[in-house]
Structure 1
Amino acid sequence: MNYSPVYVLFWMVVFCTSCGQNQTNSPINTIKSEIKDIGPNIMVRNIKKGRNGTILIAGPNNSSFGDVFRYDPSRAGEKSFTNLTSRLGQHIFWDVLEDRRGNLWFASTDSGVYYDNGKSIQHFTTTEGLANNRVTSVYEDKAGIIWFGTGGGVSRYDGKSFRNFTSPNTPLFFKEGHWNDDIHTILEDKTGKLWVGTRGDAFVYDGKKFTTLTHKGEPFLDVWAILEDSKGAIWLSGYNGFKGGHRPGGLYRYDGSTFTKVSERGAYAIIQDKKGNIWTTGPVNPANWTVQALSRYDATSLYSTKPTVTEIISGKAFLGLLEANDGSIWFGDATGVYRYDGKTITDFYNKEGQKKYIIDTKQSAIIWKGSRLLGGWEGPTLVSDGSSTGDVDIVKGELLIENRQLQGGAVEVDMNTIEQKFDDQRPHNKLPAFFDVKKFPVSTFVITKVETGNDGHTKVPTDGSIRVNEGNIKVTGNLTLEGITKAVTFPAKMQFKDGMDGTVEVNGTLILDRTDWGTDYGSEKYFYQSGDAILDDVKLYMKIVAKK
């Protein structure tokens, strides 16, 4: 059987530095896959520390929903990843916090905030006082106050009620003032001031007023990451105004009076490890986000004019970032989470066999439905539509999935098992005689293309492809029946049964003209004047359940 190819993204590990910076050799020896411990397949937006050395991982897994996971190192090699939000329904979870009391806060971009105290779940939205239901960051200050960065400003929650803040300052660059209240990140410094990165201007709030952050007369824009280092200096990444037709960006350090540009590299996330090194994830060049990297700035040169930076690994997207209790660096990308121990990067998702899902033939089903031209009559009364239904057994098959998207796959069907079902308890009518099962005992379907979305107006190709109705994916493949192979297209809906991608279910409806495969018994084309004529269109209802 020919299976459609699955294209695997290979990352290139490069060891280079930004212009004007010292170069060092990368300590990486290899990148390996963790065979026993399969991690979540999500776009890892944020990684936070939990209690007892656990690690919390949050992010969307497609445009419709996301998840939050806990990694427990005490269970490494077993089921160490646990989905914490599966019981909350399908929402786009973006950030997570375990506060000092052990309560969990789940921030979503479509449904506000969920609070889990271990006994019950509480849901906070604009109805309860939240500034906006789009929440992209959650932060706990030194006093135990919880702050939320939303699409409508900053929300402060003291355990009883919300107080919301929006910047009163006139935007210095973007005239769309609401961008200044679309919050990316929040940080409280050692003096108690609140640093706020937004989609527009960045601010500092001292409890009384908002001060717009500027450098050389230009505001900092689209600031995603802010860090206070061990010496009290503030590090942030963003664009500094708009000059010469482009937005100059990079990594900046603020010593309390002056901003210094440290690097041309941007940063989605910034942390400082126990040894004093600064780590970032983000674009190598903020003007071109297509190449991103995990980078380390050496502690001994942080305040020099040319700090030493080591590029650990580069790729297309690097996001969440954390140092674990054991000193390893955890980082996320668009497909999962990784761990770097100073020599080796462990990939918890992209491993051989990870993308192959074997079809569960007991949970899967194919039901067919056909109809007579005129149905059944008693005198002038129509007593039935003349339809018949039945099923056929799936022998084996697999689905090929990459980055939570269906890429290919194949199904084999045993034509000896096709049967017709009746409403009463009579034995099923076996239909192998309707087909030449001795010569063609197996029918196959091989996926050749999958498209997301559907306009509902797909034309019927002359080679036998079918009408397509609404569906969230559109599947095209080669159907082989009675030794004849033709292309067919049908709508389907695909969903993962859990955030760990352990089980996937695809439901679809295929309408085909059976005569295109030479099955013309009782065809309406030849017996159109007879009440016994059988319609040429046959519907196939498919439920495919596949597991890794």
Structure 2
Amino acid sequence: MALYAILQVSFFSTFTSCNGQNNSKKQKEKTIEVGVTVPSLDKTIWAIYQDKSTNYWFGSKNNGVFLYDGQQIKQITVKDGLVSDEIRGFQEDSEGNIFIETERGVSKFDGRTFKTLQIANPESPTNDWVLEQDDMWFRMGFNNNGPYRYDGKYLHFLKFPKSPQEDEFKSKNKNANFRHYGLYTIYKDHKGIMWFGTASLGVCRYDGKTISWHYEEQLQTTPEGGDFGTRAIFEDKEGKFWINNTRFRYNIKPNSTINLDYSKENGIGYINENNEMEFPFFHSMTEDNEGNLWMVTYDNGVWKYNGKELIHYPIKDGETDVLLFTIFKDNKGVLWLGSHNAGVYKFNGYSFDKMF
């Protein structure tokens, strides 16, 4: 899920120079005492976040959170109060509370202790969907048939309305052993509209009034024939959307029907070793401070799109290909990668270096 930080550079610089002593004091007051100091991160890092106090939070597949404060790494687990050690994402509210999403629930950290968010109801009817500016949205596992909305007090489970694609999918996949509405990703765009990427039924979009669906075979099926699901949704600086791969870019139109109204334009590809045009399928995407788009693939490194061409950055750990899960832009615009088999990498301006 994507969070945006608004950097007011000139104001911040003035404020810092005038209040350096106060800022230092606040930083000391925000020192996080929980967890156990460890020498390194877990190899499997699925989520990365930097909070307002500049701490880095790394979420592992099943070994809890790794917190880096610039000097040391601490591992935080269920022993410290987390609801689960299977970490899937981080968010932060206006008061600096950190929300840690896991497979079994959401933990809220106030700087000292963890609190597990309570679920208000087992399942809300379709007409209970609302969209408030300060709400947070969570997946809480892969097999749910909808997202959880947090209103500041409780989590509310919201069941997806029926997708136009459901009946056709069921008829073709009678023996499917997973939930086709299962959530791969949740994304909030610049207008505050919510996007949900499902396992098999494409994209669901909620604008506060209408829940709309969008499905295309080319978004779901890889050239090798596998079902990719909807793993990544991203809005670029022009307000246009990229979904799963670089074949097309989407212009979304206001609509009030169950089918998403849009137009699309050609995206960007590259010539592969067989002299064929190929369009990378990506797990995660972000935009750097210069407006370049960066995409991570699972087993084919990182791709940068500078508005003209795709530039490839292979990522290796020695001779081993690094299997990537996420890309994150920190408070200073530095890019970080989280991987399935080699921990974390950081961009040095030319290439990605393995960290810790």
- Residue 321 of structure 1 is matched in structure 2 by 285
Q: Following the alignment from structure 2 to structure 1, what is the Cα–Cα distance between the partners of residues 78 and 252?
A: 47
Q: Alpha-carbon deviation of 1:317?
A: 4.6
Q: Following the alignment from structure 2 to structure 1, what is the Cα–Cα distance between the partners of residues 188 and 322?
A: 36
CA contact (8 A) 2:106 2:117 kept: yes
Aligned AA for 2:293? I
- Residue 149 of structure 2 is matched in structure 1 by 204
Q: Following the alignment from structure 1 to structure 2, what is the Cα–Cα distance between the partners of residues 300 and 499?
A: 34
CA contact (8 A) 2:43 2:343 kept: no
- Residue 268 of structure 2 is matched in structure 1 by 312
Q: Alpha-carbon deviation of 1:127?
A: 0.7
Q: Alpha-carbon deviation of 1:161?
A: 0.9
The aligned runs of 1:331-346 (5 Å cut-off) are 331-335=295-299, 336-346=301-311
CA contact (8 A) 1:318 1:334 kept: yes
- Residue 270 of structure 1 is matched in structure 2 by 233
Unaligned runs of 5+ in 1: 1-45, 53-85, 173-188, 240-246, 282-292, 358-400, 406-494, 501-548
RMSD: 3.8
Q: Check if 1:403 corresponds to 2:321.
A: yes
CA contact (8 A) 1:204 1:213 kept: no
CA contact (8 A) 1:338 1:346 kept: yes
**CA offsets, 1:32-90, max 9 Å, x none?**
xxxxxxxxxxxxxx9998999xxxxxxxxxxxxxxxxxxxxxxxxxxxxxxxxx95154
The aligned runs of 1:271-310 (5 Å cut-off) are 271-281=234-244, 293-294=245-246, 296-299=248-251, 301=253, 305-310=261-266
SS state at 2:266 partner = strand
**CA offsets, 1:478-506, max 9 Å, x none?**
xxxxxxxxxxxxxxxxx989979xxxxxx
Q: Following the alignment from structure 2 to structure 1, what is the Cα–Cα distance between the partners of residues 288 and 117?
A: 33
Q: Check if 1:93 corresponds to 2:36.
A: no
- Residue 191 of structure 1 is matched in structure 2 by 133
Aligned AA for 1:204? R
Q: Following the alignment from structure 2 to structure 1, what is the Cα–Cα distance between the partners of residues 322 and 190?
A: 40
Aligned AA for 2:142? R
Aligned AA for 2:289? N
CA contact (8 A) 2:117 2:155 kept: no
The aligned runs of 1:7-406 (5 Å cut-off) are 87-165=39-117, 167=119, 169-170=121-122, 191-197=133-139, 198-201=141-144, 202-206=147-151, 207-216=153-162, 221-238=181-198, 249-264=201-216, 265=219, 266-281=229-244, 293-294=245-246, 296-299=248-251, 301=253, 305-313=261-269, 314=278, 317-335=281-299, 336-349=301-314, 401=319, 403=321
**CA offsets, 1:236-260, max 9 Å, x none?**
1215xxxxxxx5x011221212211
Q: Following the alignment from structure 2 to structure 1, what is the Cα–Cα distance between the partners of residues 111 and 198?
A: 33
Q: Following the alignment from structure 2 to structure 1, what is the Cα–Cα distance between the partners of residues 250 and 102?
A: 34
Aligned AA for 2:94? K
**CA offsets, 1:294-315, max 9 Å, x none?**
3553446575734215343456
Aligned residues: 252
Q: Following the alignment from structure 1 to structure 2, what is the Cα–Cα distance between the partners of residues 238 and 279?
A: 15
**CA offsets, 1:338-391, max 9 Å, x none?**
2111111111117xxx89x8xxxxxxxxxxxxxxxxxxxxxxxxxxxxxxxxxx
Q: Following the alignment from structure 2 to structure 1, what is the Cα–Cα distance between the partners of residues 96 and 268?
A: 35
TM (normalized to structure 2)? 0.59
Q: Following the alignment from structure 2 to structure 1, what is the Cα–Cα distance between the partners of residues 61 and 210?
A: 35
Q: Following the alignment from structure 2 to structure 1, what is the Cα–Cα distance between the partners of residues 313 and 161?
A: 41
Q: Which has the higher strand share?
A: 1
Q: Following the alignment from structure 1 to structure 2, what is the Cα–Cα distance between the partners of residues 228 and 273?
A: 12
Aligned AA for 1:271? F
The aligned runs of 1:493-508 (5 Å cut-off) are none
Q: Alpha-carbon deviation of 1:200?
A: 2.2
CA contact (8 A) 1:280 1:321 kept: no
Q: CA distance change for structure 1 residues 230 and 93 in 2, over 3 Å: closer, same or farther?
A: closer
CA contact (8 A) 1:152 1:166 kept: no
CA contact (8 A) 2:285 2:294 kept: yes
Q: Following the alignment from structure 2 to structure 1, what is the Cα–Cα distance between the partners of residues 266 and 234?
A: 15
TM (normalized to structure 1)? 0.40
Q: Following the alignment from structure 2 to structure 1, what is the Cα–Cα distance between the partners of residues 149 and 343?
A: 43
Q: CA distance change for structure 1 residues 171 and 232 in 2, over 3 Å: closer, same or farther?
A: closer
**CA offsets, 1:262-303, max 9 Å, x none?**
34335312221221111222xxxxxxxxxxx23553446575
Unaligned runs of 5+ in 2: 8-37, 125-130, 167-178, 220-228, 270-277, 324-340, 347-356
Q: Following the alignment from structure 2 to structure 1, what is the Cα–Cα distance between the partners of residues 343 and 75?
A: 23
Q: Following the alignment from structure 1 to structure 2, what is the Cα–Cα distance between the partners of residues 348 and 47?
A: 23
**CA offsets, 1:451-491, max 9 Å, x none?**
xxxxxxxxxxxxxxxxxxxxxxxxxxxxxxxxxxxxxxxxx
Q: Following the alignment from structure 1 to structure 2, what is the Cα–Cα distance between the partners of residues 329 and 496?
A: 23
Q: Following the alignment from structure 1 to structure 2, what is the Cα–Cα distance between the partners of residues 139 and 130?
A: 15
Q: Alpha-carbon deviation of 1:94?
A: 1.4
Q: Following the alignment from structure 1 to structure 2, what is the Cα–Cα distance between the partners of residues 332 and 137?
A: 17
Q: Following the alignment from structure 1 to structure 2, what is the Cα–Cα distance between the partners of residues 316 and 276?
A: 21
CA contact (8 A) 1:49 1:324 kept: no
Aligned AA for 1:322? T
Q: Following the alignment from structure 1 to structure 2, what is the Cα–Cα distance between the partners of residues 190 and 497?
A: 36
CA contact (8 A) 1:51 1:98 kept: no
CA contact (8 A) 2:42 2:60 kept: no
CA contact (8 A) 2:66 2:76 kept: yes
